[in-house]
Amino acid sequence: MDSFGRVDIVATVSLEADARTELDELVRVHRLRAPRIVDGRPGPAVVLDGAEVVNLASNDYLSLSGDARLVRAAQASLEADGVGAGASRLITGTHRQHVALEAALGDWLGRPARLFNTGYAANVGVLTALADARDVIFSDELNHASLIDGCRLSRARVVVIPHADGGALEAALRAHPAARRRLVVTESLFSMDGDIVDVAAIHAICARHDAALILDEAHAIGARGTEGRGVAADAGVVPDVVIGTFGKALGSFGAFAASGPAITELLYNRARMFVFSTALPPSTAAASTAAIAIVRGRDGDDRRRALAANARQLREAIPTLGGARDGAIAPLHVGNDMAVMALSERLLARGVFAQGIRPPTVPDGTARLRISVSSGHEPAQLQRALATLRELVP
């Protein structure tokens, strides 16, 4: 005790030392992650740690992230509107560029849509705004971390459904009839498996059981369907909420939730990720508006066709690749964490970048190489990547 009567506090835990111990454990189990450094515009080829490689590790499915029209739109807005939005949308951060982007989304998707800063924020924001302890969420076992976190934060009861199993979903809905709301939550095109679920069938199950459908189209929006409107629109289905991102096929950044007008307005009032976070930079919104115009037009059709052709070529060359036949995401199942990272390293040394994906991103024992193609991969780039893959893949 000192002369002021204060008790000496003896630090029993050093957070820094604890963090080191945790990192050492990640190294031991081959799960430490460290990013590589990209120089310049990441496209079908990318300069990674100083060397140019074929890029099979991006979600820039329509090769729009470096497109001159997006760059020009962002540049013009940067000049006119400055860098930051300055506040959350509800304080002073609603800029005319946000309003223009929401109008473009509404016109494209045929119903209101609200912006979020990321797909992660959109998923957590939507689920926490629409569900609480009185509700039950039926969540596909392979759903993205942001959906899982949204389920947890909502405090709803969560029933995990075997992947894309309509029978199991229906049985679970029957087993949990009593709740204020019942929400079925799934991706349409799964991010790490590349498969596409039967959205029409899931929607029909929801309708039979009076449950709402929340659909994450992060990997489908822009890349699939008429005008790139995604899997549900193509199936003629209107889920209660569709979440899409601008950071993948649209080549920009940010996200949206499209829904009926009342849900849209409620999200503005209840989604804490929206209410309590600085708005997207206006220039980013301007780039996304330019991306929507491209994705809806003939250029968008051409890019989707090129993407599908590249995806088919990939699977013809390596038939063991998973995912939808014409889909951009083609996982190669390896199983072992160390083996998948070693394979990724060997490919990189030969100029081909495909990311190894380990738990907790995917379930234990299902580590995989996640290969993704884009519309912009040239035949020579694909040929080179395929030859290397065929040589090195076990």
Ligand X SMILES: Cc1ncc(COP(=O)(O)O)c(C=O)c1O
Is 24 a residue of the active site? no
Question: 19 or 276: whose CB is closer to ligand X?
Answer: 276
Bridge partners (DSSP) of residue 185 are: 139, 214
Alpha-carbon span 223 to 374, nearest angstrom: 10
Is 102 a residue of the active site? no
Question: 108 or 190: whose CB is closer to ligand X?
Answer: 190
Provide the mask over 243-262, with x wherever binding to ligand X is found by CB under 6 A and - wherever it is not: --x-x-------x-------
Tokens of 104: 């473009």
Query: 93-131 in b/e burial notation, b at 16+ Cβ within 10 A?
Result: bbbebbebbbebbbebbeebbbbbbbbbbbbbbbbbbbb
Residue nearest to ligand X (CB): 119
Alpha-carbon span 133 to 96, nearest angstrom: 37
Q: How far is the CB of 117 from ligand X (least distance, A)?
A: 8
Segment contacting ligand X by CB under 6 A, of 23-31, 211-219, 303-311, 360-368 = 211-219
Q: How far is the CB of 322 from ligand X (least distance, A)?
A: 16
Is 63 a residue of the active site? no
Q: Which of 63, 191, 288, 375 is catalytic?
A: 191
Q: How far is the CB of 102 from ligand X (least distance, A)?
A: 17
Question: 214 or 382: whose CB is closer to ligand X?
Answer: 214
Question: 65 or 146: whose CB is closer to ligand X?
Answer: 146
Q: Which of 117, 248, 310, 374 is catalytic?
A: 248
Segment contacting ligand X by CB under 6 A, of 14-22, 90-98, 156-164, 215-223 = 215-223
Provide the mask over 136-155, with x wherever binding to ligand X is found by CB under 6 A and - wherever it is not: --------x-x---------
Q: How far is the CB of 14 from ligand X (least distance, A)?
A: 33
Is 333 a residue of the active site? no
Alpha-carbon span 16 to 24, nearest angstrom: 12
| 353: contact with ligand X by CB under 6 A | no
Q: How far is the CB of 188 from ligand X (least distance, A)?
A: 9
Is 187 a residue of the active site? yes
Is 30 a residue of the active site? no
Question: 154 or 191: whose CB is closer to ligand X?
Answer: 191
The residue within the footprint of ligand X, chosen from 137, 169, 218, 348 (CB under 6 A), is 218
Q: How far is the CB of 248 from ligand X (least distance, A)?
A: 7
Is 203 a residue of the active site? no
- How many residues touch ligand X under the rule CB under 6 A: the total is 14
Please, which of residues 155-194 interact with ligand X by CB under 6 A? Answer: 187, 191
Question: 203 or 219: whose CB is closer to ligand X?
Answer: 219
Tokens of 214: 């929340």
Question: 170 or 240: whose CB is closer to ligand X?
Answer: 240
Q: How far is the CB of 176 from ligand X (least distance, A)?
A: 24
Count of C-beta atoms within a 10 Å radius of residue 59 = 19
Q: Could you tell me which of 79, 106, 60 has the C-alpha nearest to residue 283?
A: 79
Rg for the chain (alpha carbons), in Å? 22
The tally of CA atoms less than 13 A away on the side-chain side of residue 307 is 32
Question: 273 or 382: whose CB is closer to ligand X?
Answer: 273
Q: Which of 65, 102, 135, 144 is catalytic?
A: 144
Q: Which of 77, 219, 234, 259 is catalytic?
A: 219
Provide the mask over 104-143, with x wherever binding to ligand X is found by CB under 6 A and - wherever it is not: --------------xxx--x--------------------
The 3-class secondary structure across 112-123, one letter per residue, is CEEEECCHHHHH
Alpha-carbon span 207 to 99, nearest angstrom: 33
Bridge partners (DSSP) of residue 157 are: 136
Which positions lie near ligand X, rule CB under 6 A? Answer: 118-120, 123, 144, 146, 187, 191, 216, 218-219, 245, 247, 255
Mind telling me the catalytic residues? 59, 144, 187, 191, 216, 219, 248
